[in-house]
Amino acid sequence: MRILFLFTLIPLLFWNCKSQTDPPTLILANGKIWTGEGPDTFAEAVAIRGNNISKTGDSKSILELAGSNTEIIDLQGKLVTAGFNDAHIHFLGGSLGLTQVDLLATTSLDQVISITEAFIERNPEKDWITGRGWQYTYYSSGLPDHQSMKALDIGKPIFLRAYDGHSAYANPKALELAGITSSSVFEGFGEVVKDSKGNPTGALKEGAMALVGDLVPGPSYDDKMNALKKGMELAASLGITSIQNASGSEEELKLYLDLMKKGELYIRYAAAFSVGEKSTAEELTRFNFLKDSLGAENPWIRADAIKFMIDGVIESHTAAMLDHYSDLLPDDELALGMLNISSVKYQNLVKELDAKGFRLYTHAIGDRGVREVFSAYEKAVHENSFRERRHRIEHIETLSPDDILRFAASGIVASMQPIHADPATVGVWSKAIGEERIPWSFAWNSILTSGAKLVFSSDWPACISLDPIRGIHVAVNRRDPFGFPEIAWIPKEKISIYEALKAYTSLGAFSSFEEDRKGLIKEGYLADLIVLSEDLFIIDPMKIHEVKVTTTIIDGKVIFERK
């Protein structure tokens, strides 16, 4: 990539400069600009003035607009798209994870151990060792225990969450500090896992994780701000220019507002407030106040979404299923998974917050969980006054075919994470789901074909990679980067690169009612765009995972360049 400054072109363009009163600040020329409006809407060049796209067209006519201070990037044929919009992310948690034991990129138990040991050695001052990223497939039983994690039985407490954040491993010291013994009983959404002799194994599911997690000293304000800066740097290197947080509090929102005030926010942020069984009326009133006081005009921050959780995850049998898990007996306590909020309470909250004008997201992974969400959203649509809503169901890892038309019928957006379907990571998942339900797993093509709007995201840090390119690779191939499996996993659910890119750009903007200002490379739109190392539209689909973002531009400014 070369950045040319205009002096080389001044003689050619001088006549034109005189007629330009307001020339572009930045031009990207000699490339392949995918505008995002259709599968083959391409331009050669794009002109940016300040923070907006001022024009797209052929290189000659766009370069003629240049002024003496216009910076020009020669794309040398490279592909440019709108910046990625990660529509479901837990950005603070992910960013803090960058300062802890980061196991997201691991592929084996050995790596979990060696990376954790290396972290302990590098950080001798830390009283608690915390981290995230192990996968269920590393363990023969699907969960870690003191035997498999023996190397971490040291004098310090260690607390490592699974990549999806729904289970954790606590070493013997951590269990001791939490007072967890064979006589401990956990009541609620979750489990203290015990072996056949009744001894805790160190594995904790869902709510039971808090027994240990609550003991870990929390990060300070400065820790969080520093972590967010690291997170933004990582996101910029992956071409992510907008994020929609899928959990959060007022305190978390304030961090982003502080970054914005200091001029240090360089990712567009849509906050969501977490609401559940225990949320109080005062909290809901406060969230509504924050939503209204921030409004919808600021292109950097909005706070108009609510996040619910209706169930858990398949791997720990906490996702709510219509029929029993294939690897559990029908009379098992968890045979149908569980709802983590009562249907009535959830429906009432949905109706109330819908009426207040929030966008609603609900985590629903089991087919019963998904059905519960449809019913609650449809009820609110029916009982409250008419408006366009764009409520979303998050994850939809399993789905009853009987429910598929309900997306389009009520304008409910399907929000999915292709990276969660990386075939190398779905072994434990598939066993629990069983052959019969497999055809409706991560069924993004069926959902699209049914007429639904589909948005993509990472769910970082509850995933093996934040990189949108990795997600797009899985969406298009349903095979992992190493070619596994040889025949795509449920090939009928593959989608085109066009649909995958749309779900990661313009439809993300649609989801937050911002399709008129971002997600496309179009005159008047915010100048958030990325340059890619290869042309995703013509590359061998199995090489998509090798593609890198080489330049990231947000608000008209280059914030990342790959050296």
Binding-site ranges for Zn ion (CB under 5 A) = 246, 459
CB of 205 to Zn ion, least distance (A): 16
CB of 354 to Zn ion, least distance (A): 21
Decide whether 34 or 442 has the Cβ nearer to Zn ion: 442
Any alpha helices (H) in 356-405, and if so which ranges?
367-383
As a dihedral over the C-alpha atoms of residue 495, residue 501, residue 506, residue 508, rounded to 10 degrees, the angle is 80
Decide whether 354 or 459 has the Cβ nearer to Zn ion: 459
Decide whether 397 or 459 has the Cβ nearer to Zn ion: 459
CB of 89 to Zn ion, least distance (A): 8
For 9, 21, 45, 419, the CA distances from 60, given in Å and listed in that order, are 12, 19, 8, 40
- What element of type H or E holds 211? helix 210-213
Decide whether 256 or 560 has the Cβ nearer to Zn ion: 256
Question: Tokens at residue 62, please?
Answer: 């766009």
Decide whether 174 or 421 has the Cβ nearer to Zn ion: 421
Under a CB-based contact definition with an 8 Å cutoff, are residues 97 and 35 in contact?
no
CB of 417 to Zn ion, least distance (A): 8
CB of 292 to Zn ion, least distance (A): 25
Decide whether 163 or 266 has the Cβ nearer to Zn ion: 163
With b meaning 16 or more CB within 10 Å and e meaning fewer, what string describes 496-507? Answer: ebbbbbbbbbbb
Decide whether 145 or 394 has the Cβ nearer to Zn ion: 394
CB of 377 to Zn ion, least distance (A): 18
Decide whether 139 or 460 has the Cβ nearer to Zn ion: 460
List the beta bridge partners of residue 171: none
For 326, 333, 378, 439, the CA distances from 436, given in Å and listed in that order, are 9, 22, 28, 7
Q: How far apart are the first and last CA of the chain?
A: 9
CB of 347 to Zn ion, least distance (A): 22
Beta carbons within 10 angstroms of residue 546's beta carbon: 13
The DSSP letter of residue 67 is: -
CB of 246 to Zn ion, least distance (A): 4
For 118, 220, 324, 342, 542, the CA distances from 33, given in Å and listed in that order, are 44, 43, 49, 48, 22
d(CA 558, CA 259): 18
The DSSP letter of residue 217 is: P
